[in-house]
Structure 1
Amino acid sequence: MRITGMTPYVLRWPEPNDFNNLRMTVLVAVDTDAGIRGWGEAIAMWPEACKATAAIIEDGFLPLLNGREALDIQGCWDAMKKHSWWYGEGGIAAFALSAIDMALWDIAAKDKGEPLVKLLGPQHETLPACASLHVNQPTIEDSVREIAAHFANGFRSTKLGLGKRGLSKAGRDPDYDVALVAALRNEIGKAGGIMVDAGNGTAWDLPTAVRTVNRMAEHDIAWIEEPFHPSRVADHIALKAAVSVPVAAGEREWQPAGYQRWIQTEAVDIFGIDPARVEGITGFRLAAAAIEDAGRIVNAHAWSTAVLTGASLHLSLATRSAVLFELKPLPGPMQFELIEEPIWHDNGLVSAPLRPGHGAEPKMKAVDKYLAGR
């Protein structure tokens, strides 16, 4: 079965989970002479990054892989790595490689007529659903009311994204952030899990981070995520030594070698991995194997379209140390309009779609509707 074509689609849509701001991504369809089409995603997000990713797919990797055996996923991955040796090892090349690799795994599972998780090797039948959200309501009361409703609808935990776009002061005032966590814990009781994602919009120095996380720990948060920019390795190490709460990081890494470096610091307990960024499903598996060997937890980053959700879910169910799966709690077009059967939880548990591949086949009508420029 030979590769006969690759088509990138740059999409733009209003995202309800991001205060209806416009977000972007790149989907890629890989076609074969057997008539099997696979889908992948590159979570490039910015307009210029999406255009550059599409150019690398069309002008770089398509000529390289056209006519190659589609089921030789490792060979294709190696060829893309070798071809992009000068401008790769991260950045736009990793986005493009990720999307193509994801699509090739989708093809391989479809060729066998099996869900992707069966090809990868299942480790879990289900995972608890986490409502992964941006805190963007004007008051703590409004935020708590909204988040508590997700628990009432079956979610087992929530991850609070601070410093996001919207009306909230979350991420910009540590006292506010602690009060938010305290109010939410009081509302949902002891059973619900609370993770806090400081993220790129929150600017803590080390003393502020230590004080804030220790105060949040009094209200039983499960972990603190991305407390600093990834370049601040020494601050991650110091925070880890000063708090009892597990530290999560890693979603901005580009390749398995980056996770090896983080493992060596011993500063991270939960590693976020994004298969639409970290050189695809192949890259995710390499990174996850190293993380598991180190006795740490793997957490898939899947905050984009249903294509990424599908791939990340199958990977999570095939990863022994995965403990939950994140879903956007508010219905949006890229989860509920893009594919025929949205990926959702059943009483707080998420299982893999049983259809062949990663189970997130985009409808061309939806793809055309959200093409950037239309």
Structure 2
Amino acid sequence: MRITGYRTLRTVHHWNRPVGDANGVVAAGVTEVPVVLVETDGGLTGVGLGVHAEADRIFPALDGQDPRAVTALYDRMLAHTFKSGHAGTAFGTIGAFDMALWDLKAKMAEEPLWRTLGAADRFVPGYASGLDIALDEGELVRLYSGWAERGFTGAKVKGGLDADRDIERLTAVAEVLRANTRSPALMLDVNESWGRHEAVRLLARIEDRVELTWIEEPVRRWDVPGHREVARAARAAVASGENLTGLEQFHALLAADALQVVQTAGVWGITHFLRVATLAHGHDLPVSPVGYHANPLAHAAAAVPNHLVTEVQDTGSPVGITVDQVIADGGVVLGDAPGLGITVDESAVAGLDRTAGWSHPGGPHVRPPDAGLRLVPGTGPRGAKEVTP
């Protein structure tokens, strides 16, 4: 079987509530989801979810190749882009193609990807997360009550603009999760919104009131001394890595013992996750995938020995996408459909308005000018920029 071509499309995800973090908020709760479909001469199509802006430039590395050689093709794509660099959208496009290739490999074996990767158990432990910074306390409680009903015992709250508000929100979520456990796992994600002058001081204030499992991205993603300083001062673990692209970007952080939980993002692909997990395992550290639509990294998480917990952000799927999995018992229960178990209904996607919030110039993916430079709290639950596409 050979790769013969690819197609791209975009669908949208309806969160049915505002979503965002300390950097910005999509008030309409509608975000775009890029999809790449890799075609073969054997009639099978691989599905990859994630940015595909560099597809025309990267696909020649795959054209005519045997899709079963996934890891070799991953390195071939990296080599194809080495002069201009493989960060950002280039790395994301490689990740989307890589996901589609793993989907094909498992489909050719007529088994779910978690089986192809060597996992023994279809259950992947998870924690609840909601991109929830724009929700007031009542809305927050209702959101996490739904997660508690599905058996979750841990949750991650978005914050970083107002420590007092963060304490109130973490405390409220803890009370909800106590329906399932005496000691909920609570994580706070500030999305690189603190500077070193804020991180240690504000985290100490929060930890005086709340037992945190980890603090996520307390400073800029590449700030090795900053992460190490926070790690030495905090009781909680420091988690980061979702925005790092390539193993070389993890080396300095791990060598400095600056992280205690190593993260990867689903948009960087499955091979990247597997390699980061191996690197983390070599440092006796756990790995935790960051959430993404349809939870594609759950298959790989099931197969690595140092998987800690996977972020689960929503129980629904984007328009036109179905996935063979169940969110229950505090995690993801993977199905038996071949590959990733993801099916795309292209007719349902045709004609959709694709001007959704992630790509908006004022959205959560745009860093505010005062991030890391605040001396006083932000303006509260709506203090981040709001975006109405």
Alignment TM-score > 0.5, same fold:
yes
CA distance in 2, matches of 1:212, 1:343: 39
Q: Find the residue that maps to 1:209 and give its secondary structure.
A: helix
Instruction: Please state whether the residue corresponding to 1:100 is helix, strand or coil.
Output: helix
User: What SS does the corresponding residue of 2:129 show, helix, strand or coil?
Assistant: strand
Which residue of the other structure, out of 176, 198, 205, is the alignment partner of 2:195? 205
Using the TM superposition, give the Cα deviation of residue 342 of structure 1 relative to its aligned residue in structure 2, in angstroms: 5.5
Describe the shift of the 1:119–1:194 C-alpha distance in structure 2 as closer, same or farther (beyond 3 A). Answer: same
The 5 A counterparts of 1:52-91 are 53-54=52-53, 56-58=54-56, 60-91=57-88
Aligned to 2:387: none
| Residue segments in structure 1 that go unaligned for 5+ positions in a row | 45-52, 163-170
Contact 2:324–2:337 (8 Å) recurs in 1: no
Matched, 1:230 2:241: no
Q: How many residues align?
A: 344
Give CA deviations for 1:43-93 in whole Å, capped at 9, x if unaligned.
Answer: x4xxxxxxxx43x212x2233322122222233222212221111231221
Distance 1:21 1:5, change over 3 A: same
| Matching residue of 2:188 | 196
In the aligned structure 1, how far is the partner of 2:353 from the partner of 2:62?
A: 25
Question: Residue 66 of structure 2 aligns to a residue in which SS?
Answer: coil
Percentage identity across paired residues of the two chains? 25
Are 1:133 and 2:118 an aligned pair? no
Partner of 2:299 in structure 1?
314
1:291 to 263, 270, 280: 280
1:327 aligns with 2:312: yes
Q: What is the CA–CA distance in structure 1 between the aligned matches of 2:135 and 2:333, rounded to whole Å?
A: 34
More helix per residue: 1 or 2?
A: 1
- Tell me the alpha carbon deviations over residues 315-362 of structure 1, each in whole angstroms, 9 at most, x when there is no partner: 11112111222222453x51xx43334633223232222111011122
- Aligned residue in 1 for 2:8: 8
Please give the alpha-carbon distance, in whole angstroms, between the structure 2 residues aligned to 1:208 and 1:197: 14
Instruction: Indicate the SS of the match to 1:344.
Output: strand
Distance 1:14 1:145, change over 3 A: closer
1:47 matched residue in structure 2: none
Q: CA separation in 2, counterparts of 1:318 and 1:257? A: 23
SS of equivalent to 2:327: coil
Between the aligned partners of 2:216 and 2:190, the Cα distance in structure 1 is 6
Q: Provide the residue aligned with 1:350 in structure 2.
A: 332
TM-score, normalised via structure 1 length? 0.84
TM-score (norm 2): 0.81
- Aligned-residue offset at 1:4: 0.7
Q: Distance in 1 between matches of 2:346 and 2:139?
A: 37
Counterpart amino acid of residue 266 in structure 1 = D
Q: Distance in 1 between matches of 2:253 and 2:13?
A: 34
Mark the runs of 5 or more structure 2 residues left unpaired by the alignment.
20-26, 357-389
Note if contact 2:189-2:217 (Cα within 8 Å) is conserved in structure 1: yes
1:260 aligns with 2:245: no
Say which is worse superposed, 232-241 or 190-199, in terms of deviation.
190-199
1:108-127 to 2 correspondence within 5 Å? 108-122=105-119, 124-127=121-124
Cα distance in structure 1, aligned partners of 2:95 and 2:265: 9
Q: Which amino acid aligns with 2:183?
A: A
CA distance in 1, matches of 2:64, 2:355: 31
* Structure 1 stretch displaced more, 151-160 or 236-245: 151-160
